[in-house]
Amino acid sequence: MEVILKMKPNQLVNAFLVFFIIHTTQVGVGLQGFQRIIYRDAQQDAWISVLISGVATSLLVFIIIKTLELYGSTDLYGIQHDVFGILIGKVLNCFYIFYSLLSFFVVLRNYIEVIQAWIFPELPLWFLSMSMLILVTYGINSGVRSIIGISFFSVILSLWLLLFISYPIKFARIDHLLPMFEADLISLLKGAYNMTFTVLGFEILYIIYPYLKEKKKVMKFAQLGILFTTFIYTALMIVAITYFNGVQLEKTVWATLSLFKIVRLPFIERFEYVAITFWMLIILPNLIFYMWSACRGMERVFKVSIKRSVWLFSLIVIISVQLIITRTQVNHLNDLFAKCAFFVVACYPFILFSFAWLKKKVFNKGIGT
Amino acid sequence: MFRKREIKKLLQEKPFVESQETNTSSDIPLDSVEFLKIIQQKLHYSADFKTIKISNLTIIYIDTQVNIKELNQNIIGHLKNVQVYTEKNVITEIAVSEIQKSYSMKNGMLSILKGSVGIHIDQTSTLLLINIPTDNNRSLSKPENESQVVGPQIGFNESLATNISLIRRYITTTDLHNERFVIGSRTNTEVSLLYIDGLASQAMVTRFKEKIKSIDVDGLLDSAVLNQLISDNALSIFPQMLLTERPDRICDGLLNGKLAILVEGSTMAILCPLSFIEFFESREDYNVRWPIASFIRLLRIIAMLLSVFFTALYVAALSFHYEVIPQALLVPLGESRSRVPFPPLFEALLLEFIIELLREAGARLPTKVGQTMGIVGGIVIGTAAVQAGFTSNILIIIVALSALASFTTPSYTMGSLIRIIRFPLLFLAGFWGFYGIMFGFCIILIHLLRLTTLESPYLAPFYPPRFADWLDSIVRLPIKFTFRRPQLARPQNRNKYNPDKVK
């Protein structure tokens, strides 16, 4: 496997699009109801937990980009192959492909869960997953540039949804936030840990990095993306804490969606119907990026073309989606995934970085040796 | 291929310039009797083929194709004065500017078919071709399909020469390139590629020429067909090149570094590359003040969205999500739908179908009957349908509104696309509500992202984001700020003018 990737100029995209890539991969199903799980631990100081998780993601992005900068133009599959050798590298690469696929599955299952709970209880699982997979396959087949285009439009076209979050502020009670700084550090950190599932997604940098034009600017725009996401999360957290009272919030599974419920316009009521269906556009880049990084792994490791592996993975997803049916199963899956993802996203970058750094700087070994 | 190349060479021949062929390669017989025999055989003794013999000259022409008056006055009239006929004095005597010498039978025949008079001098192997085609063109008229309030009121007609002269009237520069191609093995249609040297990207011109040369069809009757033959994604429903009958629109494109293609016998010129948003722009936007232009452009975009999604939203809301309709609105809706026996999807499809029927009938009918159509359609069918309990009043308003909105698009092809694309969305809405509409929206979005126009991104300047070009896209800012040419056509020179000198 070639470690250093040389891209054709017509495959490259501007570095500032990283902002949109990072933002769209982070924002997704987690946003619909992250408030409850944070609030359970950190109570009214939950917004501090959100900020802590923001700082942590920013640090992680820093480490990820530093690891990639050691090589110049490569992706995770190349680095693992180079650092750990052919055999262990291959195992780790397979593991990452599986992780991407699992993320895809979790995002898809959660979105289906929301659709079934709020809008169409009678629509079957296979139909919903199939329709999303059609979009994903179509998106992946149109190439990396178009995929990034989808994430760009996903941000631009869904910004207006944010405006409606200001609607509940009218009914907000600021004293819900008081007393401030009551939670101890452990519960704050616990809350931040619970944010894992919500802030996930920036690991796409590992795969998308070779496709970016000006590598020096990547850090700046990636951090801006993280900043924007953290801002939205914090704002939503504060709105939720001030709008709901404590007992209510602990019982509200999808707090963000419930906030949309009270939006009332002269020609439309029950705005959450619009918001949830529109959420498809927010979910889509998530799904496409995860599926694409899995397929990209297949291409890099096993030299299977992306178009083929999309079909293969779609089939696997359609079958496995039938296995998880009830709400408790979905919750269980989410918890399991969050644990697994916490290791992949929050611990592994440090390990990988130290190995890569040791290999390059201390042992002074060239790439591919 | 070989034949096409030959024709191309012929068309590039300039008057009085000896072509590369030498006398030795000539296939024209020396003897005039034999020459005439071969010609008549090739034309299958056509009824309108005429010959005149003056001493050792044989004058041949097709009388439906040449200007008889000019033939009599400037050719035959002058030739009668001469006693000795050599090639040289024939050329000096004839008072017509466009004279060509041909050594090839095939080229000579083609030229005669297009309106030339051939003169064969006995015992020479050359054929003199004097071009005097009949002037049977329609006079210039208003561009009926793309009317504007403010701006020139002239449209292309069916003559290639007239159309090019219209463009040259606007753009008087030596840099305007005009390259000829011939397409169609049976029609031999002349096609002109126009671009401004120093503005248009050379890579694009080369790419385009390759595309045109690779076309191999037997007939080309209109530029609309050529448009489909050369567009990047032939299977897509979206138009990727503009068809327009306005010379000023073409000139505007040329000045922005785009390429224009004109086809003989076609009233529409092709402009490319053209991004999605440019189909919603009109030349008039530059003729009115910028706030008005911006308002109109926004109006068109909203009209487009309304036209595509409004009926679908109605169907989705009434079939699945009646909760989203406010109570105050639910009462009149319920009242108006109470007598309708059909589900919303069927009701909407029926009405959309009627509207399409009226539109198609209106387009086919003569103008005088067309007005009756409006009355029959709008008043009789509309009112009757409601009174008979076929549809609800509110749906009639919605459907009529979206039909109206689809006509605000300046490009006819884009307008028809908007009307067609509604139907799949209607079905999606009727079966899966808002989820279906959103699914359709995502498919359209991905499809638009896939498309290219002459291998440039179709959704430019939005994606890839070129923020400088946003100033002249869904809005139009004052001329002072829009001094840059859009990057879509990759113009060689980015600046139109110095912004400091423009107020």
- Our CA-based measurement puts residue A72 at a distance from the nearest CA of chain B, in whole angstroms, of 24
Q: Percent of chain B having pLDDT more than 70?
A: 94
Point out the residue among B324, B446, B449 whose CB comes nearest to the CB of A269: B324
Q: What pLDDT, on a 0 to 100 scale, did the predictor assign at position B27?
A: 81
Q: What pLDDT, on a 0 to 100 scale, did the predictor assign at position A208?
A: 93
Q: Cβ distance A289 to A21 under 8 Å?
A: yes
**Residues with Cβ < 8 Å from B285, sequence gap 6 or more?**
B293, B296, B297, B476
- Our CA-based measurement puts residue B317 at a distance from the nearest CA of chain A, in whole angstroms, of 10
A150 and B445 within 8 Å at the Cβ level: the answer is yes
Q: Say which DSSP state B259 is in.
A: E
What CA–CA distance (Å, rounded) separates B257 from B41? 48
Contacts with B459 from chain A: Cβ below 8 Å: 149
Give me the phi and psi of B100, to 5 degrees please: -125, 150
What CA–CA distance (Å, rounded) separates B112 from B128? 11
A273 and B437 within 8 Å at the Cβ level: the answer is no
Q: What pLDDT, on a 0 to 100 scale, did the predictor assign at position A48?
A: 92
**Domain ranges, ordered by start, for chain B:** 2-131, 160-274, 289-456
pLDDT in tens, B157-188: 999 999 999 999 999 999 999 999 999 888 88
**What is the pTM for the complete model shown?**
0.91
Contacts with B325 from chain A: Cβ below 8 Å: 268-269
Identify the closest residue of chain A to B435 by CA–CA distance.
A277
Confidence of residue B438 (pLDDT cuts 50, 70, 90): very high
Q: What pLDDT, on a 0 to 100 scale, did the predictor assign at position B21?
A: 46
The string of DSSP letters for B454-496 reads TTEETTTTTTTT-HHHHTBTTSB--TTT--BPPGGG--S--BS
User: Is it the case that residue B248 has pLDDT exceeding 90?
Assistant: yes
Task: Retrieve residue B206's tokens.
Answer: 């080369």
Q: Judging by DSSP bridges, how do beta strands B456-457 and B259-263 pair with one another?
A: unpaired
- Our CA-based measurement puts residue A134 at a distance from the nearest CA of chain B, in whole angstroms, of 9
> What average pLDDT does the segment B96-101 reach?
85
* Domain made up of A14-348: CATH architecture: Up-down Bundle (1.20)
Q: Quick count: other Cβ atoms within 10 Å of Cβ A346?
A: 19
A368: left (phi over 0), alpha (psi -120 to 50) or beta: left
Point out the residue among A17, A153, A274 whose CB comes nearest to the CB of B324: A274
**Domain ranges, ordered by start, for chain A:** 14-348
Confidence of residue B429 (pLDDT cuts 50, 70, 90): very high
Sign of CA dihedral A244, A248, A249, A254: negative
- Our CA-based measurement puts residue B442 at a distance from the nearest CA of chain A, in whole angstroms, of 7
Identify the closest residue of chain A to B464 by CA–CA distance.
A149
What CA–CA distance (Å, rounded) separates A83 from A71? 11
Confidence of residue B105 (pLDDT cuts 50, 70, 90): confident
> What average pLDDT does the segment B428-453 reach?
95
Task: Select the residue from A211, A277, A279 to test the B interface by mutation, using most B Cβ atoms within 10 A.
Answer: A277
CA distances B365 to A23, B371, B400, Å, are 54, 9, 20
What CA–CA distance (Å, rounded) separates A299 from A75? 12
User: Is it the case that residue B23 has pLDDT exceeding 60?
Assistant: no
User: Is it the case that residue B418 has pLDDT exceeding 90?
Assistant: yes
Contacts with A274 from chain B: Cβ below 8 Å: 324, 434
Q: What pLDDT, on a 0 to 100 scale, did the predictor assign at position B460?
A: 86
Contacts with B457 from chain A: Cβ below 8 Å: 145
Among A103-107, B170-174, B350-354, B357-361, the least confident range: B357-361
Point out the residue among A143, A264, A277 whose CB comes nearest to the CB of B438: A277
What CA–CA distance (Å, rounded) separates B133 from B112? 9
Q: Where are the beta strands (DSSP E) in B69-214?
A: 99-102, 116-121, 127-131, 176-183, 189-196
Q: For B171-246, where are the alpha helices, taking DSSP H only? A: 202-214, 223-230
User: Is it the case that residue B22 has pLDDT exceeding 80?
Assistant: no
pLDDT in tens, B464-477: 888 888 988 889 99
Q: Say which DSSP state B317 is in.
A: H
Contacts with B434 from chain A: Cβ below 8 Å: 119, 273-274, 277
Contacts with A119 from chain B: Cβ below 8 Å: 320-321, 433-435
Q: Quick count: other Cβ atoms within 10 Å of Cβ B368?
A: 7
Peptide bond into B273 cis (omega under 30): yes
Task: Select the residue from B324, B437, B462 to test the A interface by mutation, using most A Cβ atoms within 10 A.
Answer: B324
Tens digit of each residue's pLDDT, chain A (369 residues)? 788 888 888 888 999 999 999 999 999 888 888 899 899 888 888 999 999 999 999 999 999 999 999 888 889 999 999 899 899 999 999 999 999 999 999 999 999 999 999 999 999 999 999 999 999 999 999 999 999 999 999 999 999 888 888 888 888 888 888 888 888 889 999 999 988 889 999 999 999 999 998 899 999 999 999 999 999 999 999 999 999 988 888 888 899 999 988 888 888 888 889 999 999 999 999 999 999 999 999 999 999 999 999 999 999 999 999 888 888 998 899 889 999 999 999 999 999 999 999 988 877 766 655
> What average pLDDT does the segment B195-205 reach?
93
Rounded to the nearest integer, the mean pLDDT of chain B is 87
Residue recorded with tokens 């944070």: A38
**Residues with Cβ < 8 Å from A356, sequence gap 6 or more?**
A67, A70, A71, A79, A82, A83
Confidence of residue B15 (pLDDT cuts 50, 70, 90): very low
Better pLDDT: A209 or B502: A209
Q: What pLDDT, on a 0 to 100 scale, did the predictor assign at position B1?
A: 44
Task: Select the residue from B275, B323, B446 to test the A interface by mutation, using most A Cβ atoms within 10 A.
Answer: B446
Better pLDDT: B374 or B486: B486
